Amino acid sequence: MPDEKPRILTGDTPTGNLHLGHWVGSLENRVKLQDAYDCYFLIANMHAFTTRADKPAEIRASTIEIVKDWIACGIDPERSTFVLQTEIPAIAELTWYLAMLLPFNRVMRNPTLKTELETKGLGDNYSFGFPMYTVGQCADILIFRPELVPVGEDQVAHIEPCREVARRFDQMYCGVDPQTEDADYVKAGGLFPIPDAKIGRIARLIGTDGVNKMSKSLNNAIYLTDTFKQIKKKMGGLYTGRSAMDEPGDINNSLFQYVRAFIDDESRVKELETKYAAGDNIGDGHIKVEVAEAIDKLLAPMRERRAPYEGADGDDKILALLREHTAKANAVAEETLYEAKKAMGLDFGRRTIAVV
Ligand code: TRP
């Protein structure tokens, strides 16, 4: 029975196509964990409005696109549940209650939030809703009562307040003793488990500029939808600082991060490392092509899984899937919200939600 498995909740804000940094940082984990866990994957389309409220059409398109990316990656709609944030009202409601349990200054000190304010150039003019998404993220997670949250390194700072708020709720409203070990909160009568973050095998994949973390906004990303030609071109432009085939190379440079990340054959990786370090007649250009081929091999099955959704009716198929999954997500979320409100003395009746 899938429902007896421990749960996972994680997700992405729909801001455009996913890239290799997302794959090694989190997507790969999600695909692997589908068997052992009951998985919920959230499309944080409400959060997309915190910085792009003026671009609803873009947000809608990205919402559909991200589901295609996920399916391409191997997230299986038969086994895992897609959670469309704006159709799960319990998330927004729980956000309010949790907001009361987090000090305002604690929210504003979140380093990920601060970085975003800088990189997005939001200055002093960001909306009230922008910092609120960090509380919303706690609710996204806790409404599914998951044990595990597989995320990229940049999201870990969001998981900590979620853990704090879960402990506080359980202590305040469920009578859990503050001395309780994190792993035992539910056993001790708490509603919310204290979820663990799980980071992917490569915390920060360097971009094709060879300097910065791979990111859409820095224009240094290889997308899951890129063709072999595009991959080869982007890899070709990767800066390593090395100039000749007989110059000993640094096997900790950006190129070798890619070698280790994407070439499966361990012995080939070792061989490349040895030759490169010795400057043994091996050019960067050759290795770049080999890496591009390895990446293409990874992406080929993704192209195949995406194909059924590329036709004229592709978007409609995704929308139908989302509607179907919304029912399951709401059933779980409503149950948690009811239990949370009951713990708070707010059990004034049951309700059901139908999206038709
Ligand atoms: N903030 C995440 C991002 O931008 C998306 C997100 C929203 C999320 N709610 C979440 C991730 C809950 C994990 C768990 O990528």
Residue 77 has which token pair?
Answer: 């709609």
- What domains can be seen in the chain, in order of their start residue? 7-204+310-343 (3.40.50.620), 228-306 (1.10.240.10)
* Ligand 1: centre distance to CA 133 (Å): 9
Q: Is residue 2 scored above 70 in pLDDT?
A: no
Residue nearest to atom 5 of ligand 1 (CA): 12
Q: What is the pLDDT of residues 92-125, one digit of tens each?
A: 999 999 999 999 999 999 998 998 888 888 888 8
How far is it, in rounded angstroms, from Cα 280 to Cα 273? 10
Atom of ligand 1 nearest to the CA of 136: 9
* Ligand 1: centre distance to CA 39 (Å): 15
Q: Which residues contact 146 (CB under 8 A, 6 or more apart)?
A: 6, 7, 8, 9, 40, 193, 195
Residue 260: count of CB within 10 angstroms of its CB: 16
* Ligand 1: centre distance to CA 246 (Å): 46
Q: What is the pLDDT of residues 256-311, one digit of tens each?
A: 999 999 999 999 999 999 999 999 999 999 999 999 999 999 999 999 999 999 99
Residue nearest to atom 9 of ligand 1 (CA): 137
Residues 311-328, mean pLDDT to the nearest whole number? 96
Q: How far is CA 171 from CA 25, 178, 237, 250, 253, in A?
A: 33, 6, 54, 52, 48
* Ligand 1: centre distance to CA 70 (Å): 14
Q: Is the CB of 27 under 6 A from ligand 1?
A: no
Q: Is the CB of 10 under 6 A from ligand 1?
A: yes
Q: In the predicted model, what is the mean pLDDT of the chain?
A: 95
Q: Is the CB of 31 under 6 A from ligand 1?
A: no
Residues 134-155, mean pLDDT to the nearest whole number? 95
The model's pTM is 0.94
Query: Which is nearest to 26 in space by CA: 10, 15, 37, 47?
Result: 10
Specify the pLDDT at position 334.
97
Long-range pairs of 284-287 with CB within 8 A, sequence gap ≥ 24 = 284/238, 284/240, 284/242, 284/249, 284/255, 285/236, 287/255, 287/259
Specify the pLDDT at position 125.
86
* Ligand 1: centre distance to CA 12 (Å): 5
Pocket-testing residue among 62, 158, 192, 198, ligand 1, by greatest number of atoms within 8 A of Cβ: 158
* Ligand 1: centre distance to CA 11 (Å): 5
Specify the pLDDT at position 182.
98
* Ligand 1: centre distance to CA 187 (Å): 27
Q: Is the CB of 50 under 6 A from ligand 1?
A: no
Percent with pLDDT over 70 in the chain: 99
Residues 202-211, mean pLDDT to the nearest whole number? 93
Question: 81: helix, coil or strand?
Answer: strand
Specify the pLDDT at position 3.
57
Query: What's the distance, CA 56 to chain centroid?
Result: 21
